[in-house]
Structure 1
């Protein structure tokens, strides 16, 4: 449920409760007052008419006398019934007199009661007539008066109460809509600014309106965004400086490394003629120079990926031929399943780097036999490199393609720079493909390279 809907429902509920409480209480009080006044007036009027008949004749009343009494007290709109000693007279229907009212009048009290009659509500008033000494004359008089006008007034009050409640509800909904609009506009602005900030737009800000709590939140958001923009800018500057430094150092090292490589190649050719310690030193220098050359080349390649200058030189190649040449040139002893006729548009040099890094990693850190399998799945080229070693620990799998990451921190420098798999992953991404590391159910690590057959998408 949205915040706007919750606000509207809250205003609607408040208006309904208020309307019911106010209009309902007013209706009940007005209804009771109208009914009570009408009943009092009817009793007073009936009592007045009866008092006009005093003094009563001394002889016992007969049917004619009761008829006269009933005619005097009935009035223009009502009817009356007078009875004494089992004799009744008058135009009133005696069936409307309830036993409760008869009992009350027989006890000498004035009673009244609303009863349904003729499709409406009528009022029956009953009392005894008294003789001059205050005693009972034995005559009971009942008057039936219409209560329709009072019921109509009460009904009109009820309709007005409903109309007032409905108008209050409509007004409350309108006020709720305006209030929700005013409250949600800063929230909407804040949401949009947060979304832009999450998309990398560090200049996103929220307009500050007023001095309420939402304005305070907007001010805090703007301060946080400004601080974040400053810190991210500093981090980006430092990262750019670090990348530039690595690139500059790598390029500066290439010239002396080229000279060192030439010298170590000469030393390597003469190591057999050198005495024991000198020969070992020459071989060590040669190996470390090669490792350093490989590290510098890897660093230069990484800086190209980071700067966005790495590009593909796409060509339509026979994938099996490229993979076979990679294995053959590096002397990798693996089991290869390379069906012929699989052609794809890709960068053969970068594919060579990927396969060489994957197979070299499997031979160094896994266990033989190592297998390389080429296949086509749907519209993708798939190359799987598997070894028979213990596999990759679960805590290593999420970081296996991270730069400079080594699962065994005790490994020496000569075992790799920690950039090979990272470069393989970047080359796969550059092709629009994926490189995934996993463990085989039977044991051993499995690296799966998946590239689109038609080159970069």
Structure 2
């Protein structure tokens, strides 16, 4: 039952057609029930009122005849004899009409009926019992009625209309209560038939309305579902998918507009892809072509740099600047060549089981001179046990070096904290600085190519703006995450997470993305495990 409820709830949430049909059925049922109840009530009141009117006419006519009989009877002085004569006379008329059955009782002086020995029922098949409120309401010359259910002598229960009145015999001064029983089985049968008919017709009407709602919604929902499926295929890269156009109605125009949009997107995406290919080819070709002249220039620059002490001081300084700028230029060429390999899909991993702790110490030792010049202290937090994962150590060192150098450069001379942690599924390294931090939205752009947090900032290391973009590509090759958190004035926190084995899925990190000492824990983050552990959202 729980499984069926879950499936029904899922269908209700996902299917517009199910909600429309279910809503139509519920509203139709309510309308049909209300309409049937009002119709049945009106018909019932009409049938019963007609029966009451005709029955009162019959009872009043018999009462007048009975009154004439009593007035014309010879005085006997015997109340029981009067009762028997009256009963025989009424019974004869009741058998003649066949419309009712009659009961007669003598009333005591205090107004109550006498015991059953002083009553006559004229061989009626009813075990009759008159409601007390009807007996108390009877007056001489007046007629009252009630609806009752009486038991017949065969044990069946039948609905009846009981009409009562009183007569007085002048000779004995006795008062008689006369009760006329009109059978309502025929009216009850008519109402039962009407009720069954209303239920059958109402159920059929609700079913037909549900079918109509299903058919109508299907005509509308089917194109929408088709558009959703085509949109999913377009999102999956199948740009040649189109909707079928039938007719000239609004849905056909929607399909036409959708196809035009898809064609425009396909054309623009292909143009962008072609432009991107040209750009990547240009970068790759230029990077390779510049290698030869740069090598020649490097050789000449090395000669000048080695002989700079024999030059005039201004020329010697120029030789030093030439050497430094050639270093930066070669670094840029190296990064561009690496990016072109990623774009061409030529990058490959040389995997090995590596303990992260020695790699982190190696990177920290290499960055220590820069940290000393910037006035920053490198703080290591390494576990006692090995933090092993199957990675490419060359690429991993490059990623860690980029993270540590950036933290020192933007750390404003404050401490830079490097932490390593591992569990059964993943190994992580985090680098935290307490410098200028990242502004809102910058954590999503920090891994873009040539993007810099502060372009106007004086930078001593001469970065190319490609370091974090290359680091991201290296991490994605391992099936891992490279994520950033930052807040102005609180610094930045970068977290590298890789699975212990590249084939294993990654759904969490041993290190939280938001630092424990952050005053605003959700100021800026990208794909933190507390929010959305998704490798695709790490940038």
TM-score by structure 2 length? 0.67
Q: Which moved more, 1:119-128 or 1:365-374?
A: 365-374
Does 2:350 correspond to 1:308?
no
| 1:71 aligned residue | 91
Q: Which moved more, 1:54-63 or 1:212-221?
A: 54-63
**2: CA distance between counterparts of 1:331 and 1:39?**
110
In structure 2, list runs of 5 or more residues that go unmatched: 1-11, 77-81, 152-156, 168-174, 372-377, 505-539
**2: CA distance between counterparts of 1:84 and 1:201?**
99
Does 2:130 correspond to 1:96?
yes
**1: CA distance between counterparts of 2:430 and 2:67?**
124
| 1:427 aligned residue | 474
Does 2:357 correspond to 1:298?
no
Give the Å deviation of 1:269: 0.9
Contact in 2 for aligned 1:96/1:117 (Cα 8 Å): no
Does 2:427 correspond to 1:416?
no
In structure 1, list runs of 5 or more residues that go unmatched: 130-137
- Map 1:327-342 → 2, pairs under 5 A: 332=369
| 1:6 aligned residue | 19
Contact in 2 for aligned 1:19/1:164 (Cα 8 Å): no
**1: CA distance between counterparts of 2:318 and 2:405?**
26
> Tell me, what secondary structure is at the counterpart of 2:239?
coil
Q: Which moved more, 1:444-453 or 1:141-150?
A: 444-453
**1: CA distance between counterparts of 2:296 and 2:61?**
138
Aligned residues: 446
- Note closer, same or farther for the CA distance 1:18–1:274 as it changes in structure 2 (3 Å cut): same
| 1:120 aligned residue | 158
**1: CA distance between counterparts of 2:133 and 2:499?**
100
Give the Å deviation of 1:277: 1.8
Give the Å deviation of 1:284: 1.8
- Map 1:28-427 → 2, pairs under 5 A: 28-46=41-59, 58=72, 63=82, 65-75=85-95, 76=98, 78-81=101-104, 90-91=120-121, 96=130, 106=140, 108=141, 112-118=145-151, 119-125=157-163, 142-314=179-351, 332=369, 345-366=390-411, 367=413, 377-378=423-424, 380=426, 382=428, 390=435, 392-395=437-440, 396-411=442-457, 415-427=462-474
- Note closer, same or farther for the CA distance 1:166–1:251 as it changes in structure 2 (3 Å cut): same
Of structures 1 and 2, the one scoring higher in RCO (CA 8 A, sep 6+) is 1
Give the Å deviation of 1:263: 0.9
**1: CA distance between counterparts of 2:236 and 2:398?**
34
Query: Could you list the per-position Cα deviations for residues 318-364 of structure 1 after superposition, in whole angstroms to 9, with x for gaps in the alignment?
Result: 87777777778899577797999987654344344334434444454
| 1:19 aligned residue | 32
- Note closer, same or farther for the CA distance 1:61–1:300 as it changes in structure 2 (3 Å cut): farther
> Tell me, what secondary structure is at the counterpart of 1:145?
strand
Q: Which moved more, 1:34-43 or 1:238-247?
A: 34-43
Give the Å deviation of 1:276: 1.8
Give the Å deviation of 1:61: 6.0
> Tell me, what secondary structure is at the counterpart of 1:415?
coil
Q: Which moved more, 1:362-371 or 1:276-285?
A: 362-371
**2: CA distance between counterparts of 1:449 and 1:408?**
23
Contact in 1 for aligned 2:280/2:340 (Cα 8 Å): yes
**2: CA distance between counterparts of 1:234 and 1:26?**
69
**1: CA distance between counterparts of 2:385 and 2:144?**
115
Q: Which has the larger radius of gyration?
A: 1
Contact in 1 for aligned 2:160/2:184 (Cα 8 Å): yes
Query: Could you list the per-position Cα deviations for residues 71-99 of structure 1 after superposition, in whole angstroms to 9, with x for gaps in the alignment?
Result: 33222562254989999985369963866
- Note closer, same or farther for the CA distance 1:84–1:70 as it changes in structure 2 (3 Å cut): farther
Query: Could you list the per-position Cα deviations for residues 21-66 of structure 1 after superposition, in whole angstroms to 9, with x for gaps in the alignment?
Result: 4433443343334334434444454566677789756566651653
Q: Which moved more, 1:208-217 or 1:416-425?
A: 208-217
Contact in 1 for aligned 2:424/2:500 (Cα 8 Å): no
- Note closer, same or farther for the CA distance 1:311–1:49 as it changes in structure 2 (3 Å cut): same
Give the Å deviation of 1:219: 3.4
